[in-house]
Amino acid sequence: MPYPRAHYYVLFVIAVIVAGFWTSYFSVFGVSPWQFHAHGMAASLWVLMVLAQSWTAHHKPQLPLHRAVGKSSLLLFPFLIGGLAAIIDVTGKGFVAGDGPVRAMFGAEFLVGLLVAMAAYVVLYYRALKHRRQVWLHSGYMLGTPIILFESPFSRILGEWVPAFAVNGPQDFDRILQSILVSDALALAFCIAAWWRLRERATPFLVTGGFVALQLMTMGVMGDVAWLETALRLIGDAPSSAVVGTGIAIGALTSWAGWQAGKRPAIRSAAAAQPA
């Protein structure tokens, strides 16, 4: 089976998530907005699922568990995308309400970054399901999903622990975007390294890296695009149930379409194949 040490990589991502979101989420769990819980719980369960998959795949007695956990992802994925939509919802609501200077300054960048992340999850998971009988492709696409998540917590670690990215006042707000772009650059470098080492077997990391590069470029240059601010206002004025429900629907459609695409083609019987 490919990637025998992948579970260590996933454990590293989990450590980054805990450290990066400790101050802004885990330590204030009881007073966090419901949108944070929707995203935080679904994303945490998703990464734990990928961890379980990467470990059970390399222990033959655990293969039935591997398949069962894999099938459970069909139900979890709609909530993963719904949780991401919840963050889009709270971003739009905060932008419209003028909830702090950071959302006012970077609302457009946050929105485009979230939309690229959502597209990445949909493509990677769809392709993981479609190629679930090709172990290199299936495992690579599943392992690509935590890479999409990496930027958000790691950029917070940079902001809290690295003085060059610390925000000590409004004069340092530009460092927030800088920390995001640096985190994306590190994730992109990892994807390139994985592809360079394994080439055609690591095509999923090339696809993942493409989305990371797209997020890096769009967040870096699309801050002043007028239609993004218009979209933020539309999202801010829309019912939260509609925004999150759209995300859940996209996730459910992805689960269904990917599962159908990965089914073995029907084999016609010899008798049915012969003309009458």
Is 60 exceeded by the pLDDT of residue 155? yes
Question: How far is the C-alpha of 259 from the C-alpha of 262, rounded, in Å?
Answer: 5
Helix boundaries (H) for the chain: 6-21, 34-56, 63-97, 101-130, 135-161, 174-198, 203-221, 226-237, 240-261, 270-273
Is 50 exceeded by the pLDDT of residue 170? yes
Question: How far is the C-alpha of 142 from the C-alpha of 125, rounded, in Å?
Answer: 7
pLDDT confidence of residue 222: 81
What letter does residue 68 receive in the DSSP assignment?
H
pLDDT, one tens digit per residue, over 177-226 is 999 999 999 999 999 999 999 988 899 999 999 999 999 999 988 877 88
- Bigger pLDDT: 222 vs 248: 248
Compute the half-sphere exposure of residue 33: CA atoms within 13 Å on the CB side of its CA.
13
**Tokens (6 digits) for 87:** 């963050």
Q: pLDDT class for 273, splitting at 50, 70, 90?
A: low
169, with CB counted inside 10 A (0-12, 13-18, 19+), is: exposed
Is 80 exceeded by the pLDDT of residue 274? no
pLDDT, one tens digit per residue, over 83-140 is 999 999 999 999 998 888 888 888 899 999 999 999 999 999 999 999 999 999 999 9
pTM recorded for the entire structure = 0.92
pLDDT, one tens digit per residue, over 19-70 is 999 999 999 999 999 999 999 999 999 999 999 999 988 877 878 888 898 8
Is 250 within 8 Å of 162 (Cβ atoms)?
no
The whole-number average pLDDT for the span 244-256 is 98
In angstroms and rounded to an integer, the radius of gyration of the C-alpha atoms of the chain is: 20
pLDDT confidence of residue 275: 54
Is 81 within 8 Å of 149 (Cβ atoms)?
no
Is 94 within 8 Å of 100 (Cβ atoms)?
yes
**Tokens (6 digits) for 231:** 């979209």
**Which value, to the nearest 10 degrees, does the dihedral of the CA atoms of residues 25, 26, 30, 33 take?**
20
Q: ∠ CA 251-179-172 to the nearest 5 degrees?
A: 125
pLDDT confidence of residue 226: 85
> Comparing C-alpha atoms, which of 149, 139, 131 is closest to residue 198?
139
Question: How far is the C-alpha of 208 from the C-alpha of 143, rounded, in Å?
Answer: 9
Question: How far is the C-alpha of 66 from the C-alpha of 47, rounded, in Å?
Answer: 14
Domain boundaries, the chain: 6-260
Chain centroid to CA 167: how far? 26
Could you tell me the CA-to-CA distances from 75 to 27, 51, 120, 194 in Å, in that order? 28, 17, 18, 29
pLDDT confidence of residue 276: 47
